[in-house]
Structure 1
Amino acid sequence: MKKLSPILKSLLFPLSLLYGLIVSVRNLLFDFNLLSSTEFKIPIISVGNITVGGTGKTPHIEYLITLLKDDYKIATLSRGYKRKSKGYLLADASSTSYQIGDEPMQIKRKFPDILVSVDKKRVNGVKNLLQSEHGNDLAAILLDDAFQHRSIKAGLSVLLIDYNRPITQDFIMPYGRLRESASEKDRANIIIVSKSPEDMTPIDRRIIVKELDLLPFQSLYFTCLNYGNLVPVFKNDAINIINEEWGKENFSILLVTGIANPKPLREYLENFSHSVEEVQFPDHYSFGSKDIEMIHSRFEKLEGENKIIVTTEKDATRFYDMKINQDSIKKHLFFIPLRIKFLNDDKSKFDVQIMNYVQKNKRSSNLHNIKTDSI
């Protein structure tokens, strides 16, 4: 986070104290059952964070989908941030990112056979899923970005913490980047330290374990992010690039992003090119025709014959839904998929914990039999 001036600090700090007080009171009302949480007779796994900005929720949701989809009928439920529609929607083959949001659209394109739904009111969203024609077959529901949505009680709560932004060293927004106090991590059943370095040393791991001071029932895992091969956004129009060779041809790259933190992707691309120019938009930005014209102009000015435009998979969903007339963009626009990788032997332990939870609790006949035990 950028350093704040002393004047700005003095202005933001009181606001953070007030915001923190409001959030703490709200959490206490839920803790003492003065505000109610709804529990359902189906395994519900929530994936969320405490920190504002990207912690890798979508790649972790996609990992859970891949883990479960071959054995169980599953659904995802998201808010559908910045979508142009309202209320509950169940995605189908004709859905667009404007209707359901970019992240749900990314999931639907990657996993067309699972149920992808959106609803700002999560309780209403779950009820609609269970009452749909697919409701009787559903074995589990994945809630995206729902750690603060306490009106619904997830059977298993997964909290993501960015390795590069330790919550124990942060402060509540707007002075810091925390949505709520770091102590609220105690509500999570599973904590994943995401964006960890792949070569993390045992001592670094022990330091984090000590700082987090987990409760006995909580499980801790570490993941890193891995970039996949280039994928054309418009497959029928794209130039042919062999992923193993493209970096050796010294391509010039125009990086176009609308995400919270494009720095890791830019640093990754710099391994393949000495010429990486960047066009950065706000997170979840809705590209317009003028933006496309500007991107086209910047691309045409890149030096060399070998040049491409690279974006993220999330941004690609919005480009895909646009009418782009510039052939040079459609030919040269690629995205890089993002996947997670568990460190050490964390993968096998995490997989077992998730599979055991779903197996033990699927279509439980007794609401109070929902189990969230660790391994």
Structure 2
Amino acid sequence: MGIFKWLLLPFSMIYLIITNVRNFFYDFGIFKSYSFKTPVICVGNISVGGTGKSPMIEHLIQQYQGDFKIAILSRGYKRNTKGFIEVYSDMTATQVGDEPLQFKRKFKDIKVFVEADRKYGIEQIEKYYSDIELILLDDAYQHRRVKSDINILLTTYDKPFYRDFILPVGRLRESRQAKKRADLIVVTKCPENLTSDKIETIKTQVNTSQHQKILFSTISYDEKIYSQKETKDLKSFDDFYLVTGIANPKPLIQYLKDQQKNFDHLKFSDHHNFTEKEIEKLKALKKPILTTEKDFTRLSQNIQHNIFYISIEVKLDKDLKSLLNIKPQ
């Protein structure tokens, strides 16, 4: 721990006390958690940064859309609107957030909503959309007013929660002990060649309770890239700018290097709202742009030509549906 982080340690201790007291109040019923008649699956983490929540939500949709009428409820991070809003494909990321818009455009038959207050959001869904049979909560592990039927906790292979520390010294939103609320813990972004010995080591360090299950997932990249009007094979696409505004672009960068691609990387912060000046600079680039699917929802509002995205999906080492055992009401 560097000297600067040592200076931040008192603030971490204060933050830890506050979050622990809050969790204590919920654990012992001083603060109330609410259950709902519609089954709710929560996907979240206890650390800041990209742990792969969006791909996991999409995986759940793919697993359950044949059995349930699904709704997604998200905060709509960095949107310029407020309140409970249903997301439509022709909206913009500025209106509803990039991830909810990505979900809606990818799964047109799925209902997608944004609302910062998840309890209120679920109440509105049950009141006005009574045909919904399953609700997926995106990034809601700390929203303890909602008592989810299933809590899925994500942690990355490279930066697992058990080697991290509370904010601001580390990246944890709350104590490592918050893992006890999870029904399922998924170690995300694992290497393809993960050995059985390493798996057992991680299981020991995670130290799951008897009721908890642990899974391991890898990232799978699409072999094609997409624009608003065309589809191309990634194999034939080279000499481009990679533009990212996500928390952790390292896996994508490594994948493109493994594919022996020639590119320059323009990195922006997670959920970055591109300014007019930045957009004009990107438009003026002499080479095509490749970006992530999430970034495409923001960039394609203003850049329609010579910009493509690559999509990803997660692959799990076990069948998710059989572990969760969610059934229609």
Assess same fold via TM > 0.5.
Answer: yes
- Tell me the distance in 2 between the aligned counterparts of 1:206 and 1:291: 46
- Tell me the distance in 1 between the aligned counterparts of 2:156 and 2:42: 17
User: Are 2:21 and 1:21 equivalent residues in the alignment?
Assistant: no
Deviation at 1:26, TM superposition (A): 0.4
Query: Which aligned pairs between 1:151-300 and structure 2 lie closer than 5 A?
Result: 151-235=145-229, 241-243=232-234, 245-246=235-236, 251-273=238-260, 275-297=262-284, 299-300=285-286
- Tell me the distance in 2 between the aligned counterparts of 1:275 and 1:113: 38
Deviation at 1:37, TM superposition (A): 0.7
Q: Give 3-state SS (helix, strand or coil) of 2:252's partner.
A: helix
Q: Give 3-state SS (helix, strand or coil) of 1:149's partner.
A: coil
Contact 2:92 2:301 in 1 (8 A): yes
Q: Give 3-state SS (helix, strand or coil) of 1:241's partner.
A: strand
Query: Which stretch of structure 1 is more off in the superposition, 269-278 or 214-223?
Result: 269-278
**Correspondence for 1:365:** none
Q: Give 3-state SS (helix, strand or coil) of 2:73's partner.
A: strand
Deviation at 1:108, TM superposition (A): 0.2
Q: Could you tell me which of 30, 33, 42 is aligned with 1:34?
A: 30
User: Are 2:60 and 1:64 equivalent residues in the alignment?
Assistant: yes
**TM-score between the two structures when normalised by the length of structure 1:** 0.84
User: Are 2:323 and 1:353 equivalent residues in the alignment?
Assistant: yes
Q: Could you tell me which of 87, 90, 103 is aligned with 2:83?
A: 87
**TM-score between the two structures when normalised by the length of structure 2:** 0.96
Q: Could you tell me which of 295, 301, 308 is aligned with 1:334?
A: 308
C-alpha distance after superposition, 1:127-165 (max 9, x if no partner): 110111x31x11110000010000111011000011111
Task: Report sequence identity in percent.
Answer: 41
C-alpha distance after superposition, 1:284-342 (max 9, x if no partner): 11112211222234x32xxxxxx5311000000012223x3xxxxx4421111010001
Gaps of 5+ in 1: 301-306, 325-329, 363-375
- Tell me the distance in 1 between the aligned counterparts of 2:180 and 2:220: 28
- Tell me the distance in 1 between the aligned counterparts of 2:115 and 2:87: 11
Q: Give 3-state SS (helix, strand or coil) of 2:171's partner.
A: coil
C-alpha distance after superposition, 1:87-110 (max 9, x if no partner): 100112432211110000000000
Deviation at 1:274, TM superposition (A): 5.2
- Tell me the distance in 1 between the aligned counterparts of 2:11 and 2:55: 33
**Correspondence for 1:114:** 110
- Matched to 1:272, the amino acid is Q
State the structure with more CA Rg: 1
CA RMSD of aligned residues (A): 1.5
Query: Could you say if the C-alpha distance between residues 36 and 102 of structure 1 is closer, same or farther in structure 2, counting changes exceeding 3 Å?
Result: same
Contact 1:253 1:277 in 2 (8 A): yes
- Tell me the distance in 2 between the aligned counterparts of 1:296 and 1:357: 47
Q: Could you tell me which of 8, 12, 16 is aligned with 1:12?
A: 8
- Matched to 2:270, the amino acid is D
- Tell me the distance in 1 between the aligned counterparts of 2:116 and 2:25: 21
Question: What is the aligned residue count?
Answer: 329
